[in-house]
Structure 1
Amino acid sequence: MTRLPSYFLSHGGGPWPFMDNEFSRMFGELEQSLKTVAAELPEKPSAVLVISGHWEAVEFQVASAATPGMVYDYHGFPEHTYHVRYPAPGDPALAAEVQQRLRDVGLPCHLDSEQGFDHGAFSLLYPMYPEADVPVVQLSLLHSMDPAAHLAAGRALAPLREKNILIVGSGMSYHNLRLLGPGGAEPSRQFDKWLQQTLVESEPDTRRERLEHWSQAPSARIAHPREDHLLPLMVALGAAEQEPAGCIYRQHDLFGGITVSSYRFGNLPD
């Protein structure tokens, strides 16, 4: 039986893959790591389910359009980045299955036929699948930001991995836009060290407990004043809760000193 791993991927800043300047070149290591994620899988997934840190709702929402549009949810970037397209198809059948799986475990979920791809999705999918030839479905976060609920959602969605569906939590392991650069270097290092210990070195039960109480970690609320970019991690881990984790990307000099990382949960198929 083939079972795809799940991933928590740091997605960088705004529409960086569609730019060619000093800002976008800062994400060169991240770009290579995203290409590696796609290359290390034995074949293209049948679809990608993305849980983006840029979409929240009171109850879970899943994008169900056959031809999703675009959401330009960033500010201050070059004009052309507000016209870029990532023309991957949606997958209404997968969206309906995601909805049912969440409902089956008591998590209300609704279909949203209007939601398009936000940059939490297309900024990492473009380096991974530049031909946009893999169907993509997005799942929202809960506005409550309850870690346990997002872990539970991941558990409910875990069987999708056996159907060649790639589950990707898209956020950032450090997300404090007011403290980038040298001022955020030490807090990001401290939180990243805790994240590595929690995800890679801890036993599954300990890992889950630490994540449910993530705000007690060193520099937690400096690294994430609001946890919208951390919660996609909970879904990705929940989908492979008892399986080993590995750090697949770690950079210490983003924005002049910030440490960020990405993780794979579960082993690569043979």
Structure 2
Amino acid sequence: MLPALFIAHGAPLLAIEDNEYTQFLSQLGKQLPKPKAIVLFSAHWESNVQQVSSIDEYSTIYDFGAFSEELFRIQYPAKGSAEVTKEIQKLFKQHDVSFAIDGSRGLDHGAWVVLRLLYPNADIPVVSMSINRHLSPEEQYQVGKTLACLREKDVLVIGSGGTVHNLRALNWSDNGEVDDWALEFDEWLATRLENWDVESLFNYSSQAPGAQLAVPPYGNEHFVPLFYAMGAADNEKSANLLHRSYRYGNLSHSVWQFGS
């Protein structure tokens, strides 16, 4: 059985950088058993109805600006998986999850930056999934839980976002120091994840220290993929922090493994 993963995709520059985090993700891709397919929930695909991609070959979306021209030359031509898309449709129908099929959208940088670091050859089929930040954390968790059985079929479930992601609070000088509030939030989160304390996690916005800075009121879209990935391991209820580092004072690069 494959685990579910929550992976921070950081800034788009990760796609061309060689640092502690990019090296970790490259090694992680080599260490994991090779998946039959990947189901990925990206913070950068938001919709009010759950979207499930049905794509033969993905285009590469450059959903950012003012970065190196080198980034805009990157291609990640992953194939889709009709088999896994059909299986997801079946599971959603069984569990009364409303959804729609998308046959045109490419992979945004929340997807391809992570996938390219893990699997640079783009040789693993992908089913891209939207997130709905207006759902409650419990509802997001339940969507992920619906897909837990896919892990038994060698499908890797990934939530791509960031536990601490507040662009208005970044320190672009990046002097190596980490803001206390970011550390406090991530430490609170780690304790609740490791204890699978879903009651506290579902109420993180009122219980976690620094929550209003780490997950700002104007946007929680980078945090909520955590619940989709976590739900996909509800049958095991185990969490393991594989990596954590920071850029720009508080932008977290966290990787959580859920299940085994």
TM-score by length of 1: 0.88
Give the match's secondary structure for 1:137. Answer: strand
**Residues 1:84 and 1:258: Cα distance change in structure 2 (over 3 Å):** closer
**Residues 1:263 and 1:133: Cα distance change in structure 2 (over 3 Å):** same
- Count of aligned residue pairs for this structure pair: 252
Give the match's secondary structure for 1:228. Answer: coil
What displacement does 1:99 show? 2.4
**Residues 1:55 and 1:257: Cα distance change in structure 2 (over 3 Å):** closer
Higher alpha-carbon deviation: 162-171 or 237-246: 237-246
What displacement does 1:69 show? 1.1
Give the match's secondary structure for 2:221. Answer: helix
Distance 1:69 1:264 in 2: 28
Distance 1:30 1:80 in 2: 20
Contact 1:63–1:112 under 8 Å retained in 2: yes
Contact 2:164–2:250 under 8 Å retained in 1: no
The answer on 1:211 being equivalent to 2:201 is: yes
What displacement does 1:243 show? 2.5
Quick one: which of 255, 258, 261 aligns to 2:254?
Answer: 261
RMSD, matched Cα: 1.7
Give the match's secondary structure for 2:74. Answer: coil
Q: Which residue of 2 aligns with 1:136?
A: 126
Task: Write out per-residue CA displacement over residues 47-98 of structure 1, whole angstroms, 9 at most, x where no aligned residue.
Answer: 1111100001111001111111121111211223223210111112212221
Q: Which amino acid aligns with 2:226?
A: L
The answer on 1:6 being equivalent to 2:4 is: yes
What displacement does 1:239 show? 0.8
Task: Write out per-residue CA displacement over residues 166-216 of structure 1, whole angstroms, 9 at most, x where no aligned residue.
Answer: 00110011110010127971221111011111112x2x3xx2112211112
Q: Which residue of 2 aligns with 1:44?
A: 34
The answer on 1:227 being equivalent to 2:225 is: no
Question: Could you tell me the percent identity over the aligned residues?
Answer: 35
Distance 1:45 1:5 in 2: 10
Q: Where does the alignment leave 5 or more consecutive residues of structure 1 unmatched?
A: none
TM-score by length of 2: 0.91
Distance 2:215 2:64 in 1: 18
Give the match's secondary structure for 1:178. Answer: helix
Higher alpha-carbon deviation: 29-38 or 63-72: 29-38
